Amino acid sequence: MTDAGAFKPASLDDRTTAQSVQLEQLDSAKALTDEKTGGEAQFLVPEYDIPDGGLRAWGAILGGWLISFCTFGYASSFGIYQDYYVLAGASTSSNISWIGSLQLFFLFFLGLPAGRLFDAGYFRALTVGGSVLYLFCLFMLSLADPTKYYQILLAQGFGMGLGGGFMLVPALSLQGHYWKKRRGMALGLVLTGSGCGGIIYPIMLNHLFNGSTGFHWGVRASGFLTLGLLVLAQLVMHTRLPSAKDRPPQPKPNILAVLADPPFAFSLLGGFLIVWGMFMPYFYLQLWVNVHGLSSTLAFYTACLFALLIAILNAASIFGRIIPNILADRYGQFNVAVPVSFITGALIFVMFGATSTGAVIVFTILYGFFSGSYIALVPGTLAIMAKDTNEIGIRIGLGYFATSFAMLTGTPIDGALVGHGTVLHWSKPIVFSAVVMIAGAGFLFIGRQVFVKVKGTQWT
């Protein structure tokens, strides 16, 4: 039988050993005072190996794909809700469109706080909390009266937008902890989820809303599907880095320093301009087809014309989010993102000649491919400029935060330029969107050139 006197020394030894190990870990990363710097703290940030593969790495891709499917993909299906709300008499078409715009806006606007919290080690809190808020608001939408504008605005525009915003950037940033050499491929695969969601959700909701199920149970059915997918995403995603409270002292990412980084600043400005004009075809291609009398020749599609065009755009974007990202891993993120952005902007001018059925379909396929490519290349391009893994979240978050304002204001500007009534001025939104996108590609190229000088290699 062991007495208390024999047990006490062993306990003290164990405690001393544990404290010594902890102090050694802290000493390896804590602030070191250097007399030459006037006593200012210098942090040694620990480096982490990137496995570039493994079961958990592929689980991170699957989980990110599911979150992209449920958030960005669901937001892309708003056209079905738009038609239903207008017919239900909730408000004017212009007012209702703000619900979808706000959902997309918050999805990207929250990239900044979500990115900072991710870098601080709160990945699980973000994704679980965001999932709960997103699902709560989705099921509240199923209880809302579709003729009451304020109810659907709060549930869908604000609630689902905020919930999705807390999940998307952390799911993308997590890939940087598992993938380095093939990071572009990983991010591209994750973002194909939004393309698949942009196909499946509209078809599902359109069928349920117009069938015997109706609006309330149609939304509920999509909610149960989303619930299962988000639970699965939580089960397969795991962060590699210690939580914030368990990490040794390290510097917090400095937003002003990141913004003052010349390659990042030029890329951020370029990304804003590109997104500012990018979504004009997504919103106005249906009107373009109707005005040019092409809708009757596309009647072979059993559902609505809008669903056909969105399905083509999203299907083409799936391939666009995989192939260029694989090339980017080999030839450099900037080296692929810059020409893709130039081509996407130039394709807007092609709308002038897309006045036949075949031309519209070809334009839709090409634009879906290259616009989807750019969207998928953005996170990887922002991530390669990070000084270390602790900056990946904040850089992607800042990029998404800036582009959220472009997404919110770009299409309303296009709508004001095209006008209303019997005479529509198509040259104005086409020229505006194409010019700002090409200018954005130019700033992205400048950012690439500056980054090349910093890195000392053309393969960036």
DSSP 155-185: IIIIIIHHHHHHHHHHHHHGGGGT-STTHHH
Q: Kindly indicate the confidence band of residue 338, based on its pLDDT and cuts at 50, 70 and 90.
A: very high
Between residues 341 and 184, which one has the greater pLDDT?
341
Cβ–Cβ < 8 Å for 278, 374: yes
> Which of 212, 247, 282 is the endpoint of a domain?
247
Q: Give the residue from 285, 307, 302 showing the smallest Cα distance to 294.
A: 285
**Higher pLDDT pick, 428 / 302:** 428
Say whether both 68 and 166 belong to one domain: yes
Whether 86 is covered by a domain: the verdict is yes
- Closest listed residue to residue 169, CA positions, set 440, 398, 436: 398
Q: Is residue 171 located within the same domain as residue 226?
A: yes
Measured CA to CA in angstroms, residue 366 lies from 134, 155, 187, 337 at distances of 33, 35, 21, 16
Q: Is the pLDDT of residue 199 over 90?
A: no
Q: 316-333 pLDDT, tens per residue?
A: 888 888 888 889 888 889
* pLDDT value of residue 306: 58
What distance in Å separates the CA atoms of residue 13 and residue 423, rounded to the nearest whole number?
A: 86
Which among 145, 195, 186 has a CA at the least distance from the CA of 58? Answer: 186
Predicted confidence at residue 248, as pLDDT, reads: 64
Pair 110, 235 in one domain: yes
Pairwise CA distance, residues 355 & 108, whole Å: 34
Within a domain: 43 = no
Coil/strand/helix, residue 148: coil
Among 247, 273, 292, the domain boundary falls at 247
Q: How confident is the model at residue 334 (pLDDT cuts 50, 70, 90)?
A: very high
Beta bridge partners of 41: 33
Query: How high is the pLDDT of residue 27?
Result: 45
Residue-wise pLDDT for 135-167, tens only, equals 999 999 999 999 999 999 999 999 999 999 999
Task: State the pLDDT at residue 421.
Answer: 62
Given a cut of 70, whether residue 128 has pLDDT beyond it is: yes
Domain boundary (247, 275, 292) is at 247
CB-neighbour burial class of residue 204 (10 A; exposed 0-12, middle 13-18, buried 19+) = middle
Distance of CA 235 to the CA centre of its chain: 21
235/309 same-domain check: no
- Who wins on pLDDT, 337 or 5? 337
Average pLDDT over residues 365-382: 91
Whether residue 34 is contained in a domain is answered as no
In angstroms, the CA 149 to CA 142 distance is: 14
Cα-Cα end-to-end distance for the chain:
68
The answer to whether residue 19 sits within a structural domain is: no
Same domain, 218 and 289: no
Structure confidence by residue, pLDDT tens digits, 22-77: 444 444 444 443 444 444 444 444 555 777 788 899 999 999 999 999 999 898 88
Domain count, the chain: 2
Give the pLDDT confidence of 206-254 residue by residue, as tens digits: 889 888 788 999 999 999 999 999 999 999 998 876 655 566 666 666 7
Tokens at 6, concatenated: 């024999």
**pLDDT for the residue numbered 64:** 95
What is the tens place of the pLDDT at every residue in 259-317?
Answer: 889 999 999 999 999 999 998 887 777 677 777 766 555 544 444 555 677 778 888 88
Do 290 and 319 sit in the same domain of this protein?
yes
C-alpha–C-alpha distance, residues 411 and 399, integer Å: 19
**Is residue 64 a contact partner of residue 193, using CB atoms and an 8 Å limit?**
yes
For residue 274, tell me if it sits in a domain.
yes
Residues 76 and 200 in one domain: yes
User: Does residue 350 share a domain with residue 287?
Assistant: yes
Q: Domain residues for 172?
A: 50-247
Q: How far apart are CA 353 and CA 355, in angstroms?
A: 6
pLDDT tens digits, 164-176? 999 998 998 888 8
Structural domain contains residue 41: no
Please check whether residue 341 is in contact with residue 440, taking contact to mean a CB–CB distance below 8 angstroms.
yes
DSSP per-residue string spanning 333-387: HHHHHHHHHHHHHHHHHGGGG--SHHHHHHHHHHHHHHHHHHHHHHHHHHHTT-S
- If asked whether residues 129 and 219 sit together in one domain, one would say yes
pLDDT greater at residue 133 or residue 301: 133
For residue 32, the cross-strand partners are 42
Residue with token string 């810059």? 338
Q: How confident is the model at residue 422 (pLDDT cuts 50, 70, 90)?
A: low
| Of residues 259 and 119, more confidently modeled | 259
Query: Would you say the C-alpha torsion 264, 267, 273, 276 has a positive or negative sign?
Result: negative
Return d(Cα 277, Cα 429) in angstroms, integer. Answer: 9
Mean pLDDT calculated for residue range 203-208: 86
Q: What is the pLDDT of residues 449-460, one digit of tens each?
A: 999 988 877 777
> Is residue 36 a part of any domain in this protein?
no
Q: Give yes or no: residues 208 and 255 share one domain.
A: no
Q: Tell whether 230 and 108 lie within a shared domain.
A: yes
Assigned domain for 375 exists: yes
Binned at pLDDT 50, 70 and 90, residue 419 comes out as confident
161 and 185 together in one domain: yes
The CATH number of the domain holding residue 140 is: 1.20.1250.20
Mean pLDDT score across all residues of the chain: 81
> pTM for this one?
0.76
